[in-house]
């Protein structure tokens, strides 16, 4: 009598059920993690913009110290490598005008107007914020304590 040996073949891949289970688990993890990461991204962009506003304010203050307390009328004076009073070459206060985290150049106004007149003689520096609209609640500026450092 001859015995038949049945060979059991074991496949090396995953079953469809196993793949679907892994995809479902990854979907649940993504549903939990992505909203939290997006919130952190927005928060980081706001903090980075507040830091840029502060940096620009520091450059403007340095200019004022070196020019008998007078603030620049425009930011172009911070980029120039020539002193406008003496005509002598010097290092510029800034390499370029800083932008906010959304790629928009920061706004500068001296002397300040409107609600910005409460600055006590300082220039107003601000970003339109995440919504990119002037005068809204999410503006990032140097005259309210909300974002000042």
Q: Is the pLDDT of residue 149 over 50?
A: no
String of DSSP letters for 88-139: -B---S-SS--B-TTSPBPEEESS--GGGGGGTTPPEEEE-TTTT-TTSTT-
Q: Is 114 exposed, middle or buried (0-12, 13-18, 19+ CB in 10 A)?
A: exposed
The contacts of residue 122 (CB under 8 Å, 6+ apart) are 57, 71, 112, 142, 143
| Domain range list for the chain | 22-141
Rounded to two decimals, what is the model's pTM? 0.71
CATH class of residue range 22-141: alpha beta
CA atoms of 37 and 2, how far apart (whole Å): 67
Q: Hey, how many other C-beta atoms are within 10 angstroms of the C-beta on 127?
A: 27
Q: Would you state the pLDDT for residue 52?
A: 94
CA atoms of 121 and 109, how far apart (whole Å): 11
Q: Which of the 8 DSSP states describes residue 145?
A: T
31-70 pLDDT, tens digit per residue, is 888 887 777 888 899 999 999 999 999 999 999 998 888 9
108-139 pLDDT, tens digit per residue, is 999 888 777 766 778 999 999 999 888 888 89
Q: Hey, how many other C-beta atoms are within 10 angstroms of the C-beta on 115?
A: 12
Q: Is residue 92 within 8 Å of residue 72, measured between CB atoms?
A: no
């Amino acid at each position: 009598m001859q015995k038949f040996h049945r060979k059991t073949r074991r496949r090396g891949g995953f079953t469809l059920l196993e793949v679907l289970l892994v995809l479902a688990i990854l979907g649940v993890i993504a549903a939990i993690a992505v909203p939290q990461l997006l919130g952190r991204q927005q928060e980081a962009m706001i903090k980075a913009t507040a830091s840029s506003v502060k940096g620009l304010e520091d450059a403007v203050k340095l200019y004022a110290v070196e020019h008998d307390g007078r603030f620049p009328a425009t930011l172009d004076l911070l980029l120039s490598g020539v002193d406008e009073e003496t005509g002598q070459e010097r290092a510029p206060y800034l390499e370029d005008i800083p932008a906010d985290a959304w790629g928009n150049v920061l706004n500068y106004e001296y002397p300040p107007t409107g609600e910005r007149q409460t600055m006590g003689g300082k220039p107003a520096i601000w970003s339109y914020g995440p919504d990119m609209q002037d005068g809204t609640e999410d503006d990032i500026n140097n005259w309210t304590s909300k974002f000042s450092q």
